[in-house]
Amino acid sequence: GPSTSATETAQIKPGEMYPYLDEEKLDTSGGKWLKIEYKKDEEGWVSGVYVDLVK
């Protein structure tokens, strides 16, 4: 699952908007992670500390 100790697969750019895939998980320390599509057909997790959900 998502974690700050997991291997980084991609980086997202500050200020950019990415589709939220309506899925969340908590890491072992209780931090919230959100699933996004960062490229066409490429999904990943981003820490809730670094993002804001926009409707």
Asked if the structure places residue 48 within a domain, the reply is yes
Domain tally, the chain: 1
Asked if the structure places residue 6 within a domain, the reply is no
- Rounded-to-integer distance, Cα 30 and Cα 6, Å: 15
Asked if the structure places residue 9 within a domain, the reply is no
| C-alpha of 45 from chain center | 3
Residue range(s) defining the domain that contains residue 22:
16-55
What is the chain's mean pLDDT, rounded? 92
Asked if the structure places residue 43 within a domain, the reply is yes
Prediction pTM value = 0.85
33 falls in which pLDDT band (50, 70, 90)?
Answer: very high
pLDDT at residue 1 tops 90: no
In a 13 Å sphere around the CA of 14, the CA atoms on its Cβ side amount to 2
- Rounded-to-integer distance, Cα 24 and Cα 31, Å: 10
